[in-house]
């Protein structure tokens, strides 16, 4: 198990779901909790820990990283169901052992566990060990509300047992939220059997959620709507039970370029930053479809490759080696003067660069928040999970991007023209940035984290009497 510097403070264990887009916001939460006198420890399965250690120096972080056995023999990648099996059957006993070891050393006791809801297996471990537990939702609040409405949707026969909408392919059970179609629901991935299994995964999370004392949301209190220069807030929907107490603590963003970078699972190609220095302001299209799923398939990779070439605009394209089979022969050399292909990029630094004008994205929540923080216009191509809900807000509610219908030349050209022609988009980006990441938000996030820690302190004091 990996261990860094040890300080005698109350320990708080952070258990993220084992994916890049979940570990990063959990680290940001850990850094925020440091300022409240706690010693955060991030616990990941060994296959994730090995990747992190290979790419960053953990001594750069004040947050400790530790690992538990996961039953996997190699580096992966492992699919959703293999990881679920490990989380349910392998990891719990090892986490329990680690908790006992941490409580027996002389460097502070474990006073709380913060558990990513997608890693809900750890909630039962906290209960068995008598440790207070808080949940962590790393995505948009609207998606959380959608997930917590699953029982009501089933009861009202809005969705089937596989989670598919029954009425005209749409679900509109949540007030203040854009109409969702079949493709927008987070669990609708893969075959019917796969969808049914994913829906059961979410229902199991909902069952475990009721035993949590608190829930920390990596989101704003409400999803803000821009209308005639003013923001309106939609009605908050309370959870269908008394617990947990909800604290919006997001968006958890990059505080500055001087802080340690995110613990990447892949080696970042920083040469793209030098390449950007030689490009004109707002000229570059940055393309990244995230890290979780193989993005679009070989045929669409080829289509997008030819489209980017035909656009005659400079571009940076993040494309893993295993996803490059669809590229035309010699493509990297052919476009070397126009574009740059990288296996993985320091995304926040790329988006901050003045040369980047557009971001073609899968609409993952972390990527969406980074784009808002860097005030970049978005070309949206969602593919799975919560990305469709995020896309709806980007395009229909906040109006800071355009959905790309397809990856052919005509569709992408049309989207680029539309997003660049919208003269008011820059102002909307400025407003949504100020509303979600300005001083008021920083003060609210700090206040909510303080309230959470005070609640934890009160619980500790009550247990001593």
Domain extents for the chain?
11-252+437-464, 271-435
Most confidently modeled range among 75-89, 130-144, 237-251: 130-144
Multiple choice CATH, 11-252+437-464, 3.30.300.10, 3.40.50.2000, 3.40.50.1980, 3.30.70.2190? 3.40.50.2000
pLDDT band at 327; cut points 50, 70, 90:
very high
* Confidence check: pLDDT of 109 > 50: yes
Q: What are 244-269's pLDDT values in tens digits?
A: 899 999 888 765 544 556 667 778 88
For residue 214, what pLDDT is reported?
A: 95
Q: What are 162-196's pLDDT values in tens digits?
A: 888 887 667 665 566 677 776 688 888 878 888 88
User: Residues of the chain with pLDDT > 70: what percent?
Assistant: 87
Question: Which position has the higher pLDDT, 58 or 402?
Answer: 402
Query: Is 271-435 a CATH 3.40.50.1820 domain?
Result: no
* Confidence check: pLDDT of 3 > 50: no
Quote the mean pLDDT of the chain. 86
For residue 222, what pLDDT is reported?
A: 55
For residue 257, what pLDDT is reported?
A: 43
Question: How far is Cα 177 from Cα 172, in angstroms, rounded to an integer?
Answer: 8
For residue 445, what pLDDT is reported?
A: 86
* Confidence check: pLDDT of 235 > 60: no
For residue 238, what pLDDT is reported?
A: 45
pLDDT band at 228; cut points 50, 70, 90:
very low
Question: Which position has the higher pLDDT, 439 or 125?
Answer: 125
For residue 158, what pLDDT is reported?
A: 81
Q: What is the mean pLDDT of residues 400-423?
A: 94
């Amino acid at each position: 198990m990996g261990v860094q510097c040890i300080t005698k403070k109350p320990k708080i264990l952070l258990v993220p779901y084992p994916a890049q887009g979940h570990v990063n916001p959990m680290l940001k939460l850990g850094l925020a909790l440091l300022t409240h006198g706690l010693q955060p420890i991030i616990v990941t399965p060994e296959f994730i820990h090995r990747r992190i250690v290979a790419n960053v120096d953990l001594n750069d972080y004040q947050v400790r990283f530790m690992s538990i056995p996961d039953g996997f023999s190699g580096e992966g990648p492992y699919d959703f169901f293999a990881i679920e099996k490990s989380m349910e059957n392998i990891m719990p006993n090892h986490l329990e052992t680690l908790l006992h070891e941490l409580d027996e050393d002389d460097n502070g006791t474990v006073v709380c566990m913060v558990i990513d809801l997608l890693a809900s297996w750890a909630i039962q471990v906290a209960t068995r060990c008598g440790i207070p537990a808080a949940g962590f939702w790393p995505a948009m609040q609207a998606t959380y509300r959608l997930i917590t409405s699953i029982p009501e949707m089933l009861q009202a026969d809005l969705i089937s047992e596989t989670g598919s909408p029954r009425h005209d392919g749409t679900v509109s059970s949540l007030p203040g939220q854009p109409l969702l179609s079949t493709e927008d629901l987070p669990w609708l991935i893969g075959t019917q059997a796969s969808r049914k299994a994913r829906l059961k995964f979410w229902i199991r999370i909902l069952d475990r959620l009721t035993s949590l004392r608190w829930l920390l949301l990596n989101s704003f209190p409400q999803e803000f709507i821009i209308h005639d220069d003013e923001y309106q807030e939609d009605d908050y929907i309370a959870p269908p039970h008394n617990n947990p107490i909800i604290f919006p603590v997001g968006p958890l963003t990059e505080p500055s370029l001087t802080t340690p970078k995110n613990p990447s699972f892949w080696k970042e190609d920083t040469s793209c930053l030098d390449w950007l220095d030689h490009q004109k302001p707002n000229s570059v299209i940055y393309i990244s479809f995230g890290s979780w799923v193989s993005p679009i398939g070989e045929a669409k990779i080829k289509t997008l490759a030819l489209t980017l070439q035909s656009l005659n605009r400079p571009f940076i394209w993040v494309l893993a080696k295993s996803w490059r089979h669809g590229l035309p022969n010699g493509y990297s050399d052919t476009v070397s003067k126009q574009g740059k292909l990288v296996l993985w990029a320091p995304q926040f630094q790329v988006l901050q660069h003045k040369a980047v004008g557009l971001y073609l994205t899968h609409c993952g929540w972390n990527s969406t928040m980074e784009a808002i923080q860097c005030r970049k216009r978005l070309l949206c191509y969602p593919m799975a999970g919560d990305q469709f809900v995020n896309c709806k807000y980007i395009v229909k509610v906040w109006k800071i991007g355009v959905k790309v219908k397809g990856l052919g030349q005509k569709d992408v050209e049309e989207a680029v023209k539309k997003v660049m022609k919208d003269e008011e988009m820059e102002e909307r980006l400025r407003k949504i940035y100020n509303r979600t990441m300005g001083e008021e938000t920083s003060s609210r996030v700090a206040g909510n984290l303080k309230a959470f820690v005070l609640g934890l302190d009160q619980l500790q004091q009550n247990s001593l009497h």
